[in-house]
Structures are given as C-alpha cells and as structure tokens.
Structure 1
Amino acid sequence: MEVSKVRRRIIFISVLLIVSLLFVSGCQQNPAAVSEPEEEQTRTIVDMAGREVTLPKNIERIITLGPVPVLNGITMAMGQKDKIVNGLPDFAQSPRWKYQTVFAPNIADKPVMQNSDQDPNIEEMLKADPDVVITMNSQSVDTLESNGIPVVFLSWKDPEDIKEAVKVLGEVFDNQKRAEEYVEYFDSTISKVRDTVSKIPEEERVKVLYCSVERMVQPHHVAEWWIETAGGSSVTAGIERTGNSLSFDFEQLLNWDPEIIIVCEPKGVSDIANDQRFSQLKAVKNNQVFKAPHGAHIWTNRTIEQPLTVLWAAKTFYPEQFKDLDLNKEVKDFYKHFFDYELPPEEIEEIVSGDVGQ
C-alpha cells in the first residue's frame, strides 16, 4: 500500500510539473511577446547606383535631399506624402511652389534638412531619425552612410529614367503595384500621343523653343524629349551643351524664329510682349507664347508629371489633331489617382495655365 501511495504521489507531482512547463511555455510563445527575427524586420533593395540598401520593413519617416520638389513629387505619387519629414528648401518656399504644400500640407512646418548648396544638414537629419533618405546627389551618399543614415540614390539622366526611379521606390515602400500603375500610365500616354503625331509630316511640324526669357537659356535638356514626343521640332535639338541648360543670344533667337515659345517664368509672356525686339518672331505675331504649367513641379523640367507635359504640349502644338483630348479631365484624374488629391476646377486652371503664384 505504501509503495502504491508513493507511486501515485510521484505521478501526481510529475503531471503538475508537466502542466506547469506547458503553461510557462505557452506564455512565452504569445505572438505579441515574440520578436520577429532581424531579417524579417528589414528588407534589402538595390538603388540606381547598384548599391544594396537595408531598410526597415515598414517605412514611416522619409527625407528627400537635393532637388527636393522633384523627389517630393515622386514620393507623393507613390502614396507616401504623409511620411515626408523635411520641409522645402528656401528657393521652393515662394508662392510659385504652393502645390507642394497643397498636396502635402504636413511638410509646410517641417525643418529644412539641407544647406543652400544641397549638402545634408546632418544634425537636423539625425534629430528627424529617418527610415530612409532619398537623394539624387551622389556626393551626399557617403556622408549619410557614415552617419548611419539609410540612403537610396536615384538617377535621372535620360527622360524615361523616371520609370526606373519609380520602380526602385516601389521596392523601397513595398508598393510595387503603384509603381506598375505609373509606368503603365506613362507608356500608354506616350504611345497614344506618338500614334497621333506620327501622321504629321516632318515638314509640317511646328518649330518650338522652350526658354527662360530673363536668362536667355533653354533651361533643361529634358525639353528636347517632350517637345519631340509631342510632335514638335525643337529649335535647340542637337546643339551640344555642357550641362542641363543651353545659353543663346538674341541673334540666334531671330535665326531660329520659332513658331511656338514656351516660357518657364510666368512673367516671360509679358516680358516678350513688352519688348519690341521680339515682335518680329512668328510666335509673337501669331500669339503663340505660352507659360509652362506648374503643379508639384514645373511640368517642362524633370517631374513625375511628365505624361501630362506631353499631353499639354501635344494639344498646344496641334489643337485640331488633339481636339478630342480633355486635358482638364486628364489632369484631374492623374492627381486624384497618384497624389490622392481632388483638384477643383479653379486649381486645374491655375496649374495648366502656369499662373501659379501670380
């Protein structure tokens, strides 16, 4: 009997121990209490410099460095505008750039994270504790890395590099679907315009100049692409330049005698109208001087809005061939889909007319 009692006690104690161990083990395995393995908390992407960059799984804080309005526009179009933690640089704090803060009100009171030469303000950046810095300034990459700040480099040398930049950010933000939607929209828009303008004989294509009247320069080489894509003949095409811009003098302008002039500064239209020297140009005689549209960025330079640039230019160059194009609807749909912003009619008009900040 005593042996039997001892055995029962041993069995009882053993069962209690097993139950207790199972209970403790169960508590420890509570999903809320278990940390993810480090590799599951981060992701590795490859940027446009071919660098492997390790980023947090969830990106919550973004800094754009360098050409901030350009990078903000891309970031906004990728559905990440609420995560930008830097403000606009000094040059972009004028009324001309109002749609940066219309589309992303949260950046209006954020600190500037770069100096006037676009070098990073490391002290401010470390305070902001970004999950990623997006830049087009290759010289800043090493500085940021040495301070433990994750940085993704984007390159935009050729006009259609924007598609690759968007794909990279699709990986950064784990939003490949939005990137694919933009690339598809870009390609389909360009294809439709090219199909129409391909029917226009070369000798009938309008001669176009995109310029800053104040500085007498063609401001950006990307204009050669959108002018040609929209069916125009750029008077500055094929001229060698050392950087983005191309200077010219008044004698050269008279020799070109463009049929359409697009100015990058709104006051350029009145400057031309009030200067008798311009009166002999075909574009002036025929009232074909236009302001460049301006949304998140000026459409006629590098911008995520490039498909809209081509649509606007095509309709401006060839109003008859593109009479069925509802540009205002295209603009409204673009910003609603990619910027998550519903433009009222007066803002559409302001953007397309180029009168922003006037």
Structure 2
Amino acid sequence: MKNKKRIRNLAIVMLSVVSLLAGCGQASTNSNKSSSENSTKQESKQTVVTDSTGAKVTVPNKITKIADAWPAHNEIVAMLGGSSKIVATIDSKKAYPWLYKVFPDMNKAQTIFTNTTVNTETLAKLKPDVLFIPTESKLLAKTKELGIPTVQLIFQNYDDLKKVVNITAQTLGGDAQSKADKYNSYLDNRLKSVKAVTSKIPDSQKPKILHIESFKPLTIDGKDTIVDDWIQAGGGKDAAEISGNKKPASMEQVLKWNPDIIIMGKSVLNDKNSPIKSLDELYSNPQWSQVNAIKNKKVYVNPMGVFLWDRYGMESALQFQWLAKLLHPDQFKDLDMVKETQNFYKTFLNYNLTADEANKILNAQNP
C-alpha cells in the first residue's frame, strides 16, 4: 500500500516537472518568435541600396525628407516624384530658375550647400532621411558626423546615368521605379534611333567639337566623360586629346586641336571671372582668332532647362538629339527639338511647356 502511494506521488512530481519544462519551452518559443517578428518589422521599415561607390546604404523604407548636394541630381529626384520632399539643396533659384518654375515645391527647400561648404547646423535641424552627394565630394567629411544615410552617386556615360536613376528610384521607393524605367527606356530608344543615323556618317563629315567649361582658368571637358558620350552620339568627334572633366588646357593645345565647333554652357559667359562675356567678344579676341570655330563663327551656347543639358542631369537625354540636329540637319529633318522638348517635359517632368518656353530653353534663356 505504501509502495503504491509512493509511486503515485512520484508520478505526480514527474508530471509537474514535465509541465513546467513545457511551459518554459513555450515561453522561450514565444519570446524568440516575438523577437524575430520585431526584427522583421524593423527590417521592413528599411531599404538597403548600393550606391555608385559600391557601398551598401540603409535608408528608411519611407522617405519623407531629402537633402541633395549634387547640382545635377535634384532634377532626377524631382522627375521621380520627390521634389516636395527636398528640404535642403545646392541649387539656388538664381542659378536654376527653370527648376523652381517647373517644380514650385523647390521654393520650400533651403539652399545650404555649395560645392565645398555646408551649413551643418541647419542640416542637422532639418533631419533628412537621406543625403544625396556626388562621389569624392569635399562635403562628405563635414556631413559624416551627422549620421545621415548618405548615397554617393556619379556617372560618366549614359549607361551609368541609367544606374544612377535606378539607385535614386530604389532609395525613394513608391512608384519611383516605374518612372525610372520609363525614362531609361526613352533614353535607350532615342540613343538607338540617333546613333542608327550618325554611325553611318563618314568621319570626314563629323566636325571636331571642343566643350569649354570655363575661360579663366581655361578648362575643358575631354574624353571618358558624358560630354564625350553625347558628342559621339550626336555625330561629332571630340577635339580634346585629354581625358576627364574640367581639365586645364592651354591656348597652344586649343590651337593644335583646332576645333571646328565650340560648345559651352551659359554659365561660362556669365562667370564673373571670365575675360569673355559674350560670343561677340570671343569672335573678336585675337588669341582665339586662328581657331576654325572662331573664324567660321561656329560657337554655340548650350541649351539649359531645369538643369544644364550638357552636363550631368537627366536632360542630357535631349542633348545628343539637339547636337545631331545642329550638326546634321539634313539627316534629322523630322526631328523638331521644340516639340521633342515639350513632349519630354510633359512626360518626365509633368510640366506643360509652351513652344515659347521650349525655345527659351533651347536658347539658354531664363523663364
């Protein structure tokens, strides 16, 4: 009898231990599950993008405030639907009036960057979710301590332009990627269409083109750049025999290259340090008088809209078309740059450009 009682008590104790262990196991499982769910929720609130340097940058899944310190990039953000989110910019209204006309939301942004300086106190107060900045920017050392997720971007050709558009879209989220895909498809199609014509033009009929970045100091854009890319796509040859952007050049080199055509941005003549303020001054300058482009008065101020067409913005998709029409009008009779510019602005910038406004942009005039 005593043995039976002892066995029954032992069974009860064992059942209690098993029950207790099961409860602990369930609590542990629930705890692990809860921790895993919280981690998953946290990850779902973030996006990891790979920038132009190859760095992986973690940004919020929902971007509400943007700082953009790359002049050429603000219009890419705007094209992808982010103009109302830009709280800090490098693009002033004075320098880029079309940007502010086409995207009035830009008037809310504070201009706190230059190419070499940044108001870090204001940037910290604005608390942007992401900072876009060009690679190798001097600003990076000054903004790094603020802990803002920073996406570094650059491109030197049209293929890499598409990559920058995609990286930006991935960062912004929402419907930005569908807009990026539409733009990249347009760029591919127009490049293919124009190159199909210009690739058949004999080299002897392709003029040598020099792209000037500034007169004082004399700097030019050479090979292995987006400038070289659109010169070739548009049916020209790059006169510069050096590589890179904003490279110093001498008058002796220019005379040796002897370009048939010179192209420059509006800002070159507006530069307060420039000794040459107009095309007339350039044509009458004795130093330049022996250059073919000057002799034949073949110097052109490049179109400028929301951003400079000839440099690193998304409007460079129009640049090679403008050049092809300029250099080879007979081969591009059906290309109407006024209409092309209007359609481009409507499709990608959601702005109904009038014919008069399109002409102003093509002639680098302010709104």
> Normalising TM by the smaller chain, what interval?
0.7 to 0.9
SS for the counterpart of 1:210 is: strand
Q: For residues 194 and 106 of structure 1, what CA distance do their matches in structure 2 show?
A: 37
Specify the code of the residue in structure 2 equivalent to 1:306.
S
Deviation at 1:164, TM superposition (A): 0.5
Give the alignment of 1:312-327 within 5 angstroms.
Answer: 312-327=322-337
Equivalent residue for 1:123, pick from 110, 121, 126: 121
Matched, 1:101 2:103: no
Question: Which residue of the partner structure matches residue 8 of structure 2?
Answer: none
Q: The residue matched to 1:37 in structure 2 has which SS?
A: helix
Runs of at least 4 residues off by over 6 Å: none
**1:79 aligns to 2:81 (yes or no):** yes
SS where residue 131 of structure 2 aligns?
strand
The whole-number CA distance in structure 1 between the counterparts of 2:115 and 2:167 is 27
Q: Which amino acid aligns with 1:117?
A: T
User: Which blocks of at least 5 consecutive residues in structure 1 are unaligned?
Assistant: 1-35
Q: Does 1:51 align with 2:16?
A: no
The answer to whether the 8 A contact 1:62-1:130 is kept is: yes
Residue 68 of structure 2: SS of its match in structure 1? strand
Number of the residue aligned with 1:255: 256
Report what 2:149 is aligned to: 150
**Contact kept in structure 2, 1:76 and 1:338, CA below 8 Å:** no
SS at match of 1:108: helix
CA–CA distance in 2 between the matches of 1:98 and 1:50? 34
Query: Relative to 1, partners in 2 of residues 1:254 and 1:114: Cα closer, same or farther, differing over 3 Å?
Result: closer
Name the % identity.
28
| 1:150-178 CA distance string (max 9 Å, x none) | 22221324453111011111211222111
Could you tell me whether the CA contact under 8 Å between 1:144 and 1:150 is conserved in 2? no
Decide whether aligned partners of structure 1 residues 326 and 142 sit closer, same or farther in structure 2, where only a CA change above 3 A counts: same
Equivalent position amino acid for 1:50 in 2: G
Give the number of the structure with larger relative contact order, counting CA–CA contacts within 8 Å between residues 6 or more apart: 1
CA distance in 1, matches of 2:261, 2:168: 36
Distance 1:56 1:262, change over 3 A: same
Alpha-carbon offset, residue 293 of structure 1: 0.7
Once the two structures are TM-superposed, the CA of residue 269 in structure 1 deviates from its matched residue by: 1.9
The Cα of 1:75 is off from its aligned counterpart by 0.8
User: Is 1:354 matched up with 2:364?
Assistant: yes
| Greater shift in the superposed pair: 277-286 or 175-184 | 277-286
Q: Amino acid of the residue matched to residue 51 of structure 1? A: A
Answer whether contact 1:86 1:107 (CA < 8 A) is retained: no
Per-residue deviation, residues 190-232 of structure 1 (Å, max 9, x unmatched): 1111100112111221121221463332146432221111110
Aligned counterpart in structure 2 of residue 235 of structure 1, from 228, 234, 239:
239
Residue number in structure 2 paired with 1:294? 304
Query: Structure 1 residues 251 and 144, CA, compared in 2 at 3 Å: closer, same or farther?
Result: closer
Q: Which amino acid aligns with 1:192?
A: S
Instruction: Name the SS of the counterpart of 2:333 in structure 1.
Output: coil
Q: 1:274 to 1:171 in 2, by over 3 A?
A: same
How far apart are residue 281 of structure 1 and its match?
3.8
Match of 2:134 in 1: 136
**Residue equivalent to 1:274:** 284
Q: Note the C-alpha offset of 1:251.
A: 3.6
How far apart are residue 112 of structure 1 and its match? 2.6
Aligned to 2:11: none
- In structure 1, distance between residues paired with 2:254 and 2:55: 44
Q: Which residue of 2 aligns with 1:28?
A: none
Q: In the alignment, residue 351 of structure 1 is paired with which amino acid?
A: I
Distance 1:87 1:163 in 2: 22
- The alpha-carbon deviation at position 100 of structure 1 amounts to 1.9
TM-score, normalization by structure 2: 0.77
Question: Aligned with 1:356: secondary structure?
Answer: coil
Q: Which residue pairs with 1:15 in the alignment?
A: none
Name the aligned partner's letter for residue 122 of structure 1.
Answer: T
Which one-letter code corresponds to 1:222 in the other structure? I
Cα 1:135–1:277 shift into 2, 3 Å = closer
- How much has 1:261 moved relative to structure 2? 1.7
CA shift digits 1:52-84 (9 cap, x unpaired)? 32222221111102x3x2110211121211111
Aligned partner of 1:14 in structure 2 is none
Change (3 A) 1:138 1:255: closer
Gaps of 5+ in 2: 1-39, 270-276
> How far apart in 2 are the matches of 1:212 and 1:271?
17
Q: Distance in 2 between matches of 1:141 and 1:212?
A: 25
Q: Does 2:63 align with 1:63?
A: no
Provide the rounded CA distance (Å) in 1 between the counterparts of 2:155 and 2:115: 21
Deviation at 1:257, TM superposition (A): 3.0
What are the superposed Cα offsets for residues 258-312 of structure 1, whole Å, 9 maximum, x if unpaired?
2222122354423223325544543334332211111122211122111100000
**Residue 143 of structure 1: CA displacement?**
5.7
Q: 1:235 Cα shift?
A: 1.0
Q: How many residues align?
A: 314
Render the CA deviation track for 1:111-139: whole Å, top value 9, x for unaligned. 23335614x43321221121211111446
Q: 1:57 to 1:252 in 2, by over 3 A?
A: closer
Query: For the structure 1 residues 61 and 318, does the alpha-carbon distance in structure 2 shift closer, same or farther, using more than 3 Å as the test?
Result: same
Distance of 2:251 and 2:140 partners within structure 1: 41
